[in-house]
Amino acid sequence: MPTSIIPVITIDGPTASGKGTVAHRVADQLGFHYLDSGALYRLTALSALRRGTDLADEHALAKLAEHLQCSFQGGDIILSHENVTEAIRAEAVGNAASKIATFHAVRHALLGLQLGFRKAPGLVADGRDMGSVIFPHAALKVFLTASVAARAERRYKQLIAKGISANMDDLLKDLQARDERDTNRAVAPLVPPQGALVLDTSEINAEQAVAQVLAWYAAAK
């Protein structure tokens, strides 16, 4: 099947909006492949932190991104044969990923890797610029959003459930800072893609969000 006719569903949105959970479940329901594009930036950030790479060195970071050896296996994320599913979710890695995502060279280095996930029978891709930059002709574009308070509460519960201490005020400030950085960056800013359907998840659960996305996709076919 030519790549150009393989259906793609993009689900973009800010940190902790629920896009990862929704995208993964939609992919499972449809039997599609899944791309967590944010994980690619987190993998680059993790590699940089482990190697002691300067997070302001755009060229060095792009080289790391270009040579990432990673894969998504079920619910696990593998980096050079190591399961780093939990490691890349650390707050320090997330903050670093948000910073390096502002670099054009890093985004360009990851472009080909992201496009390579488009395989039959289809792909569900989540991130911040999937529908606006990477897959602008997707069959369905969804922009998930939620209030900062709702997103901070979700992140707090996730961290506590994993035995990681967390402070609600710090999480709120962190999310607000990330939103500011992601929305105002010069390269691929976080905005609803043209033609995207906006879904506010502040007051609905993951199952309801998945059902809505599936209904939109069925109507779009």
**120 annotated ligand-binding residue:** no
Over residues 124-144, the mean pLDDT reads 95
**16 annotated ligand-binding residue:** yes
What pLDDT does residue 71 have?
Answer: 86
Cβ contacts of 60 within 8 Å, gap of 6 or more: 48, 53, 54
Over residues 215-220, the mean pLDDT reads 96
Domain assignments of the chain as residue spans, ordered by start:
7-203
Over residues 178-187, the mean pLDDT reads 83
In the chain, the percentage of residues whose pLDDT exceeds 70 is 99
**102 annotated ligand-binding residue:** no
**99 annotated ligand-binding residue:** no
**112 annotated ligand-binding residue:** no
Superfamily designation of domain 7-203? P-loop containing nucleotide triphosphate hydrolases (3.40.50.300)
**13 annotated ligand-binding residue:** yes
pLDDT above 80 (res 171): yes
What pLDDT does residue 56 have?
Answer: 96
pTM: 0.86
